[in-house]
Structure 1
Amino acid sequence: MTGRRLFYERELTEYPVGGRRVWFLFIAILANFVASYEAQISPVLPLLMRDLHMTLGQYGEIASISVVASAVSAMIFGPLADRYGRVRFLVPSLFLTAACVYGMVLIHSVTALLIVRIILAFIEGVAIATTAGLVRDFSPRTGRALAFGFWTFGPVGSNFFANAVAGATLPIFHTWQSQFVIEGSVALAACILILFSIHDLSPQLRAKVIDSVEEVDAVNRQVRRDQLEEPRMREILRVPHVWTLTMGISLFLLTYLTIQSFGTTFLVQAFHYDTSQAAAIAKYFWLLNLATLLIAGWISDRLRLRKIVSFVGAVLSVLYMFYFVSLVGQTIPEGQMILYTSLLGGLFGVAYGPWCALFSENAEDIKPSLQSAAWGLFGFVIRVAGIAVALCLPVVVALGGWGAWLTVSAVGGLIYIPLVFTAKGPWFRFQRPMLPMSESQVPNVED
């Protein structure tokens, strides 16, 4: 199934334990951070729009076209990663993306920006499915939510890091080109470390459901006896609650996608901060978001409950969103705005971290070896939501202002709340399953 291995492919035939497992998990999280950081453009978007004489609508079109490329990539490489291994596709994609980031420095027209962003997005789409698969592979269920909390350090931490770097260095260098030189250099250094450190589990190990580290010895013994079944994408696609979970969280994350792509621009236009101020404020959304992702993940792991934690976070997020809408257009001191944006990011983290573990475990209950396929589907759907943001946001903002768009995003979050009820798993009491299980022992969850 795996074919001939490439020079950077290293496969584990026994499940790692202790610090070794944590190291492999860290490398997977670092890879996701690098892939997400290389795609960052929001902190310098106002400067880029000015120098290229580009309107918000034009950038929305560029973003939507590039997101299509990323969505297609996630759907293609998710199933391939389940069949041939995560590392085979992840490592070259990281190096190619680093080269494209350096190429951003040479951009002098809207057309050139479009071409480079399409290439970047297609390569970046590989990362979400492959790294999510690796995080699942190296995290037993007892620590799954916390592990995915760290995994979200990719898109979340990279946004915080990019905004922090821009806030600190733009007053020194004064050019958007400087930010892409910094991005490319940081990414290239990390890629070299990943190249020599990253590992895959064998297909036999990827086909196991591991509840806790105490079961590793039993898993390693069982692997030697099991027959391997070929993973098929359609086994994920035909399960209704996989779709409701992915569509629901994608609607919930409309605000997240807005801050990710237009955060600095939003603060500049809606509250009249300058670009460096706006970038510095935006980083606090991501800082508290990261903190609550980890805290909520830890609580979810301790309770072994995913749905109730995500549900509470979603309800609080939506209520606060409607309050946040009322602030648009007001003159708000910088320190106060930091508090408002931090709280917004923090509440989103409470809902999103446990959802990641919920989705991973629901997909695992269908077929353990289809993790990358499931996350490829998520990558596709979340990017469709990104296309909607890129195309609709400029129109809505032009017609009704930023407050109107944030209201639309809040309604998206509201739709997610009832869809949580479609997920499999306990609400208030966890019952320990009889694990480890082979794929043939996983119960049928389609009914």
Structure 2
Amino acid sequence: MTSSPFEIWNRQLDRFPANGKRAMYLAITVGATVVLYYQLYVQGAVATKVLADLDMSLTYFILGQVVGGLIGVLGSLAAGLADRWGRANLVVYGLIVVSLLVGIAAPNVHSSLAYMVVFGLIAGVEGVVLVATPALIRDFSPQLSRASAMGFWTLGPVLGSLLVTVVSSNTLDTHHDWQFQFQVAGVVGAGISLVAFVGLRELAPQLRDQRMVSLRDRALLEARARDIDQDQSTRGHWRQMMTSRILVPAGAISCYLLFYYVAVGFLVLFLVTTFGYSDARANSLATWYWIVNALSLIVFGVLSDVLGVRKPFMIVGGLISAFGIGWFAVATGDSSTTYRLFAVIIVVIALGTGMTFATWMAAFTETVEARNPAATVTGLAVWGACVRVVVALSFTALIFAIPAAGVLADFGPHVTHTSAALKAGATVPEAELRFLALHGEDVRRAAHNAPKQWQQLWWVCLAAQLVFLPSVWLLAGRWRPSSARADAQRHRASVEEELFTLVVRK
């Protein structure tokens, strides 16, 4: 039965919605994803302030991200198990919980441990919701427009990150406390939570558990729905996802996104500690990445749907982003690299990443559908878990790969302030002089070593990009537009034939 406008639990639709409502549900889902990523990433913009205010070492902070990533793994897997509660419900009530944690709980913590507990809770809920949202996008978008739809969904992390940098770069100079950034994110989350609570709906299982190639399939899928046994269609769905055609691409794209993960969490820290940028200037540079990435996702998602192919875009995009990351690594080793040059390099990386990821999401969901369309959320849960495992492992490695960053984050500001006071001839307390004597040489050595250590990390990110490329051959889809058009024509004829058979039988 179709849910009423004021139903707060049963949100299922027993028929495909008209295009206007379908667009509305897709827009709410994308909006929810944007805000969730904004709330998850907001700490990256004020990481240096959080460390200083809560007297937290960088190592402790990174370990907190690792633990949060592992909790997110559990959340992603739980989304596959909890899907019977409804994908829309997971999104709606997950949004509410995350908004309360970000807007109220996080700004009121007074210790590093309390902060990490709150972050762990946020990461766990996020792991659930950010599996449910692409599942909703898939449900409402046929395969022939899947890349466009997934391009819009992937705007979630991109626009979420952009929202972080825009808000922070325009408010940090007037609102110096990090808590303000969390409070703004909480208010924004409360707004989208209300919209989703009132307006978000999902397809009934009998409809979404089928493969929709084009919108013309709707009548046939509705006719079939009455004969579908959901328990039968989802039986063994976890086992069905444990195949190389699912696991290898999920792991490979997680490795491909290594640069993205580091950029989200530590690009500001890198620019502040290694090139001496202010927090606001570092965030404004990151804005270039998110704007170009957002445009790339949409443009290449649409082109992929027009041509009917995904794989060529993944290969070309992967090579472009790999080139950009290599260039970024070289620039990191040159202390004279300008803001403008960094911006150009970041634009290249963002362009390639957007081209790759929008088409990968479309191809991956189509690969899962080819295995079992009723197991879509299970396949996405596998992907979500892979992403968070790679994040946890990479952040753990970060502690050992860039020890200089920890020294600069923990002691650099204090040493710099004291050294400046001495040069200006100001009277410096004895405790400050002892601190300078104890850590001054360590900071000087770390400042010398940091560019090389970061450079090595960027080379690892480049290698991870190249590792991704062979996995493209495992995904569903054609290489040539002519082959894709022939497949679509055969499918259209098959649908018309089956519909005619159903009418005759009646």
Given that residues 79 and 370 in structure 1 are in contact (C-alpha distance below 8 angstroms), is that contact kept between their aligned partners in structure 2?
Answer: no
SS in structure 1 at match of 2:65 = helix
1:327 has 2:331 as partner: yes
Determine which of 134, 137, 141 is the counterpart of 1:135.
Answer: 137
User: Aligned partner of 2:309: which letter?
Assistant: L
Q: If the length of structure 2 is used for normalisation, what is the TM-score?
A: 0.82
Deviation at 1:6, TM superposition (A): 7.2
Separation of aligned partners in 2, 1:140 and 1:316: 29
User: Aligned partner of 2:89: which letter?
Assistant: R
Q: If the length of structure 1 is used for normalisation, what is the TM-score?
A: 0.93
Deviation at 1:220, TM superposition (A): 2.1
1:414 has 2:466 as partner: yes
Determine which of 261, 281, 286 is the counterpart of 1:277.
Answer: 281
Determine which of 243, 261, 268 is the counterpart of 2:265.
Answer: 261
Determine which of 291, 294, 311 is the counterpart of 1:307.
Answer: 311
Q: Which residue of 2 aligns with 1:442?
A: none
Separation of aligned partners in 2, 1:378 and 1:291: 24
CA RMSD of aligned residues (A): 1.7
Matches within 5 A, 1:364-379: 364-379=369-384
1:153 has 2:155 as partner: yes
SS in structure 1 at match of 2:190 = helix
Q: Which residue of 2 aligns with 1:405?
A: 457
Q: Which residue of 2 aligns with 1:252?
A: 256
Structure 2: segments with no counterpart, 5+ residues: 1-5, 405-451, 496-506
User: How big is each residue's C-alpha offset from its partner over 1:116-162, in whole Å with a ceiling of 9 and x where there is no partner?
Assistant: 11111011111121101100001111110111111111111100111
SS in structure 2 at match of 1:326 = helix
User: How big is each residue's C-alpha offset from its partner over 1:352-401, in whole Å with a ceiling of 9 and x where there is no partner?
Assistant: 11000000000011111111111111110000111022111132122752
User: Aligned partner of 1:328: which letter?
Assistant: T
Matches within 5 A, 1:28-39: 28-39=29-40
User: How big is each residue's C-alpha offset from its partner over 1:174-226, in whole Å with a ceiling of 9 and x where there is no partner?
Assistant: 11111011000011011001100000100110111111112222222232344
Given that residues 17 and 213 in structure 1 are in contact (C-alpha distance below 8 angstroms), is that contact kept between their aligned partners in structure 2?
Answer: no
User: How big is each residue's C-alpha offset from its partner over 1:67-114, in whole Å with a ceiling of 9 and x where there is no partner?
Assistant: 110111101112321x34202322111111111002111122211111
Determine which of 390, 396, 400 is the counterpart of 2:395.
Answer: 390
Given that residues 256 and 467 in structure 2 are in contact (C-alpha distance below 8 angstroms), is that contact kept between their aligned partners in structure 1?
Answer: yes
Separation of aligned partners in 2, 1:242 and 1:423: 8
Q: Which residue of 2 aligns with 1:203?
A: 205
Q: How many percent of aligned residue pairs carry the same amino acid?
A: 25
Q: Which residue of 1 aligns with 2:96?
A: 95
Q: Which residue of 2 aligns with 1:243?
A: 247
Q: Which residue of 1 aligns with 2:343?
A: 338
TM superposition outliers: structure 1 runs of 4+ over 6 Å: none
Separation of aligned partners in 1, 2:114 and 2:82: 30
Q: Which residue of 2 aligns with 1:441?
A: none
Separation of aligned partners in 2, 1:398 and 1:237: 39
User: Aligned partner of 2:361: which letter?
Assistant: C
User: Aligned partner of 1:155: which letter?
Assistant: P
Q: Which residue of 2 aligns with 1:354?
A: 359
SS in structure 2 at match of 1:290 = helix
Matches within 5 A, 1:425-436: 425-428=477-480, 429-430=483-484, 431-432=487-488, 434=491
Q: Which residue of 2 aligns with 1:234?
A: 238
Q: Which residue of 2 aligns with 1:445?
A: none
User: Aligned partner of 2:364: which letter?
Assistant: F
User: Aligned partner of 1:273: which letter?
Assistant: Y
Higher helix share: 2
User: Aligned partner of 2:148: which letter?
Assistant: L
Separation of aligned partners in 2, 1:418 and 1:175: 46
User: Aligned partner of 1:422: which letter?
Assistant: L
User: Aligned partner of 1:434: which letter?
Assistant: H
Separation of aligned partners in 1, 2:7 and 2:70: 29
Asked which structure has the greater CA Rg, the reply is 2
Given that residues 293 and 349 in structure 1 are in contact (C-alpha distance below 8 angstroms), is that contact kept between their aligned partners in structure 2?
Answer: yes
Deviation at 1:333, TM superposition (A): 3.0
1:180 has 2:237 as partner: no
Deviation at 1:53, TM superposition (A): 2.4
Q: Which residue of 2 aligns with 1:444?
A: none
User: Aligned partner of 2:34: which letter?
Assistant: F
User: Aligned partner of 1:71: which letter?
Assistant: V
Given that residues 9 and 87 in structure 1 are in contact (C-alpha distance below 8 angstroms), is that contact kept between their aligned partners in structure 2?
Answer: no
Separation of aligned partners in 2, 1:248 and 1:185: 36
Question: Larger deviation: 206-215 or 424-433?
Answer: 424-433
Deviation at 1:42, TM superposition (A): 0.7
Separation of aligned partners in 2, 1:108 and 1:136: 41
Q: Which residue of 1 aligns with 2:413?
A: none
Structure 1: segments with no counterpart, 5+ residues: 438-447
Determine which of 277, 298, 308 is the counterpart of 2:302.
Answer: 298
Separation of aligned partners in 2, 1:113 and 1:39: 13
Number of matched pairs: 432
Separation of aligned partners in 2, 1:252 and 1:139: 25
Given that residues 160 and 287 in structure 1 are in contact (C-alpha distance below 8 angstroms), is that contact kept between their aligned partners in structure 2?
Answer: yes
Given that residues 8 and 195 in structure 1 are in contact (C-alpha distance below 8 angstroms), is that contact kept between their aligned partners in structure 2?
Answer: no
Deviation at 1:420, TM superposition (A): 1.1
